[in-house]
Amino acid sequence: MNLPGKGLPFAKMHGNGNDFVVIDNRYGDIPGGELPGLALRLCRRRTSLGADGLLVVEGSDKGDLRMRLFNRDGSEGEMCGNGARCLARYAFEKGIAPGEMTIETLAGLVGARVEGSFATLDMGTLETASVLRGQELTLSGERFLYSQLTVGVPHTVIFQAPDDGREEEELARVARVFQSDGERFPRGTNVNFMKVRGGRALELMTYERGVEGITLSCGTGSAAGAVAAWLEGEVSPPVEVHNPGGVNTVLIEEEGPGVVRLFLKGETVLVAEGVLWDE
């Protein structure tokens, strides 16, 4: 694909290590059909900018802006918590949206509030009856207990023992087996490995769909893990979710019988800004 002759301005951002290339495409400089290929090109580590995904700002007639997320493999994701937090800060600092804004995503409208380097998302409501709890899958004679739920995107939360010392590579192998089960997970799934660390704290590692690897942080995964642990009575909100790259805070507010509203708060970092060229 050919970038505009003047080059394409970009920002590099991350939320707790979950990193993104951000571009403003409100004026359609890049045709929509070329965005998956652009993500493949820009997200390569070492030979390009490198990122977990490409965030694209577009205009919206439903909110202050529209977010499109393209994973490192070029697939388009419905929602990304850390990505939406980064996009909210970017939009505020560029004067695209006010400090409290509404972001249109494929998963629906998401509210966001920017306060300095922190951004908080109103991720909407979740019906607790939709969570598949107490699920089991046996791999090589080992039984894995998990909950399955959708927080913008599908998540499988595997409950680990606090002393489970498996390395990242072994967890990734388990995650790939889960993801390959098309009968259980027809839309694919993000796989979260969760350890409860106290009444208000979790540890979480996420193998992300579309990234096909364990990332330093996952926003929707943080929310999914907090909800799964809360439903089992293992934590109370607000829940600090410790990802390898940093902490996300998840608030769970009961809105009525069987309905909760989720909020996700965490820090964002603007790493660099520059211009992309065809070379």
Give the model confidence (pLDDT) of 222-244 as tens digits.
Answer: 999 999 999 999 999 999 999 99
On whether both 252 and 143 belong to a single domain, the answer is yes
Residue 235, SS3 per DSSP? coil
On whether both 92 and 153 belong to a single domain, the answer is no
Q: Supply the pLDDT for residue 4.
A: 61
43 is an active site residue: no
On whether both 14 and 130 belong to a single domain, the answer is no
142: containing domain:
126-265
Pairing of strands 108-115, 201-208: unpaired
Q: Supply the pLDDT for residue 161.
A: 95
Residue 25 sits in a domain of what CATH number?
3.10.310.10
On whether both 130 and 259 belong to a single domain, the answer is yes
On whether both 176 and 66 belong to a single domain, the answer is no
Quickly count helices (H) and strands (E) in the chain.
Answer: 4, 18
Q: Please state the domain count of the chain.
A: 2
Helix H or strand E encompassing 171:
helix 168-179
Alpha carbon distance 276, 43 (integer Å): 13
Residue 112 is encoded by which pair of tokens? 């966001």
**Per the domain annotation, does 3 fall within a domain?**
no
Low-confidence ranges of the chain (pLDDT < 50): none
Q: Supply the pLDDT for residue 278.
A: 75
On whether both 86 and 163 belong to a single domain, the answer is no
8 A C-beta contact, residue 220 and residue 80: yes
Alpha carbon distance 108, 60 (integer Å): 12
**Per the domain annotation, does 63 fall within a domain?**
yes
8 A C-beta contact, residue 208 and residue 190: yes
Alpha carbon distance 202, 1 (integer Å): 43
Q: Supply the pLDDT for residue 276.
A: 87
Burial bucket for residue 264 (CB in 10 Å: 0-12, 13-18, 19+): buried
8 A C-beta contact, residue 149 and residue 162: no
Residue 22 is encoded by which pair of tokens? 């951000």
Q: Supply the pLDDT for residue 210.
A: 86
Options 57, 65, 80, 151, the catalytic residue: 80
On whether both 239 and 196 belong to a single domain, the answer is yes
**Per the domain annotation, does 171 fall within a domain?**
yes
50: alpha, beta or left, given left = phi > 0 and alpha = psi -120 to 50?
Answer: left
On whether both 136 and 256 belong to a single domain, the answer is yes
Options 23, 88, 218, 241, the catalytic residue: 218
Residue 244, SS3 per DSSP? coil
On whether both 104 and 170 belong to a single domain, the answer is no
Q: Tell which residue, 86, 203, 97, 184, has the closest CA to residue 132.
A: 184
86 is an active site residue: no
